[in-house]
Amino acid sequence: MTAFLTAALRTAVVPQGGAFAAFELHQLVAPLVAPCLAMGGIDPGEVDELILSNALGAGGNQARVAALAAGLPERVAGLTTDRQCAGGLDALGLAMALVASGQAQAVLAGGVESHSRRPLRFRTDPGGDPPRPYDRPPFTPWPDRDPDLAQAAADLGRRLGIGEDRQVAWAIDSHAKALAARPRLRAEILPLAGQLDDAFTRRLTPALAARAPKGPAGLTAATTAVAADAAALCLVVSPRLAARAPQALRLVGAATIGARPEDPALAPLAAIEAVFGRAGRRPANLAQAEIMEAYAIQAIACIEGAGLDPALVNPGGGALARGHPIAASGAILALRLFHDLRQGLGLAAIAAAGGLGSALLVEA
């Protein structure tokens, strides 16, 4: 059986400490449920599952909390996953598998993240010393193969010769495209706390980029996606339910592939190759691609490594102009395809810590 994407809706993406700073995770997700279902012509009683990715929360089944808060039937158990940056896109892959296998008819899938409300983390000491705070868990069992992501991107840029001028040019273009697309982007954003637009998008200039503070790896705030809060949901349904929807994209294939942990930025290349190979398609068949811009270096390297046409990539701007709500970012890539793609083939791809890459192919 084939699965279809028939609705997609998100909040605005707001930098950490902004308009969503007081929102719990379920408070970001629950308002999206009813309008997303209405967009796809689905009654809440027809929903079989809600799959949410979350990377920074305090644990628990956030999907279940969001399902109850949104008024979905109590039988909707909710499934919360964590695959870091790739999680939101992988949620759609899981939904696709459930529907294609006949185990579900309608699945809401996406991601939610709040950098603003992320809990303080402490590691206990078996020797009895006081607990020690930490910012992120290990992504490999080997510290020497678990680099800081910004440092890994900077090292990749030096290795591939992607200098600061190219990075800045890419970031300026991302913001310019996002500003130009702002009127149509509002069709995919549910206003919440007065936020109608992605709050970080600006008229970035070379002079403004030159004043951006540099991080420890030498990358600047202009060429690195900012930490952000947001939620995104997509509706994946069977052919029977897709027949009701005003718009439907066929989910052609999904792939998540592990690669070298030292080069997380290049991990999407294996996933892109796999999803094209399984579908018998080629990058030349694409009408649009949505590629994650956690770092300008990472986006440039993936686009060139996969042989994608830059003119088809992120026509409404990318994460450099939006921000990076970790577990929601992949779902936003798929959502962008849903709202933009009217004919042909679309690709969404994202990298994740630990050397993971995920890719999704859809067709109008």
**In angstroms, what CA-CA distances link 199 with 13, 85, 202, 243?**
6, 20, 8, 36
Q: Catalytic residue at 36?
A: no
User: What pLDDT is stored for residue 58 in this prediction?
Assistant: 84
338: helix, coil or strand? helix
DSSP string, 217-235: TS-BTTSBPPBEEEEEEEE
pLDDT at 361 over 90: yes
CA distance 175 to 313: 13
- Residue 133 in any domain: the answer is no
What secondary structure letter does DSSP report for 115? Answer: S
Q: Do 346 and 337 touch, CB atoms closer than 8 A?
A: yes
* Region 329-341 average pLDDT: 98
User: What pLDDT is stored for residue 244 in this prediction?
Assistant: 94
Q: Do 291 and 267 touch, CB atoms closer than 8 A?
A: no
Q: Catalytic residue at 115?
A: no
Q: Do 338 and 278 touch, CB atoms closer than 8 A?
A: no
- Residue 44 in any domain: the answer is yes
**SS3 sequence of 236-272:** EECHHHHCCCCCCEEEEEEEEEECCCCCHHHCHHHHH
Catalytic residue among 85, 234, 302, 339: 85
- Residue 191 in any domain: the answer is no
Task: Specify the CATH number for the domain of residue 290.
Answer: 3.40.47.10
* Region 345-351 average pLDDT: 98
User: What pLDDT is stored for residue 127 in this prediction?
Assistant: 85
Structurally, the chain folds into a number of domains equal to 1
Residue 41: which residues within 8 A CB-CB, separation 6 or more?
Answer: 6, 241, 244, 245, 246
Q: Report pLDDT digits (tens) over 185-222.
A: 999 999 999 999 999 999 999 999 999 988 878 899 99
* Region 36-59 average pLDDT: 96
- Residue 184 in any domain: the answer is no
Residue 126: which residues within 8 A CB-CB, separation 6 or more?
Answer: none
Tally of residues, the chain: 364
Q: Report pLDDT digits (tens) over 127-157.
A: 888 999 888 889 999 999 999 999 999 999 9
Range of the domain at 325: 4-118+225-363
- Residue 139 in any domain: the answer is no
Q: Report pLDDT digits (tens) over 241-282.
A: 999 999 999 999 999 999 999 999 999 999 999 999 999 999
- Residue 25 in any domain: the answer is yes
CA angle 224, 362, 191 (to 5 degrees): 55
Q: Which of 240, 245, 230 is nearest to 188 (CA)?
A: 230
Output the six-digit token pair for 240: 């029977």
User: What pLDDT is stored for residue 43 in this prediction?
Assistant: 97
User: What pLDDT is stored for residue 218 in this prediction?
Assistant: 84
* Region 300-315 average pLDDT: 97
User: What pLDDT is stored for residue 20 in this prediction?
Assistant: 98
Catalytic residue among 26, 115, 175, 324: 324
- Residue 186 in any domain: the answer is no
- The per-residue pLDDT of the chain, averaged, comes to 96
- Residue 180 in any domain: the answer is no
